[in-house]
Amino acid sequence: MAQHPPFHLAFPVTDLAAARRFYGELLGCPEGRSSDTWVDFDFHGHQIVAHLAPDEAGHRATGSVDGDHVPVRHFGVILPMPEWQALADRLRAAGVRFIIEPHVRFKGEVGEQATMFFLDPCGNALEFKSFEDMSQVFAK
């Protein structure tokens, strides 16, 4: 896949200290600039910004994807398979509760992918994916 410019995503959190522990320590995202109301993180080369906005945080709706009820509002990144597996193992070891356990969806079909969903401590849903064949990311 071609190299693209980094994306920027701002999202609400209920607690900046909890966001720092989760994104910075557990997920290993280096912290960038910050203020009393927001924190930048380097999310695998992309800029995500946790904004203190307690009334906006959390997911509310789900949609059906390959038999799973996935949170409609979520974000994440596509990792190489060894990194995806290492993250799944690290999250399990840390006692993170999965909304959707790590597994392979669309087995044997176009777009076969490993996926897992979990919540940050503020209720925001994250999905991390991996493809054995990266040409399948946008396959129809």
Using alpha carbons, select from 134, 124, 127 the residue that is nearest to residue 103.
127
CB 30 within 8 A of CB 70: no
Q: What is the mean pLDDT of residues 88-108?
A: 92
pLDDT digits (tens, 9 = 90+) for 10-54: 999 999 999 999 999 999 999 999 999 999 999 999 999 999 999
Strands of 8-13's sheet in order across: 8-13, 46-52, 38-43, 31-34
CATH number, domain of 84, equals 3.10.180.10
Domain count, the chain: 2
Phi, psi of 101, rounded to the nearest 5 degrees: -60, 150
Give the global pTM: 0.89
Residue 23 inside a domain? The answer is: yes
Residue with tokens 């193992």: 89
For residue 114, the model assigns a pLDDT of: 93
pLDDT at 2 > cutoff 70:
no
pLDDT at 133 > cutoff 90:
no
CB 78 within 8 A of CB 130: yes
Residue 75 inside a domain? The answer is: yes
Question: Residue 115: which domain range?
Answer: 62-136
Residues 77 and 114 in one domain: yes
Collapsing DSSP to helix, strand or coil, 40 comes out as strand
For residue 50, the model assigns a pLDDT of: 97
Residue 57 inside a domain? The answer is: no
Residues 40 and 89 in one domain: no
Residues 27 and 68 in one domain: no
Residues 48 and 66 in one domain: no
Residues 84 and 111 in one domain: yes
pLDDT at 98 > cutoff 80:
yes
Q: What is the mean pLDDT of residues 4-9?
A: 92
Question: How many angstroms separate the CA atoms of 110 and 60, rounded?
Answer: 29
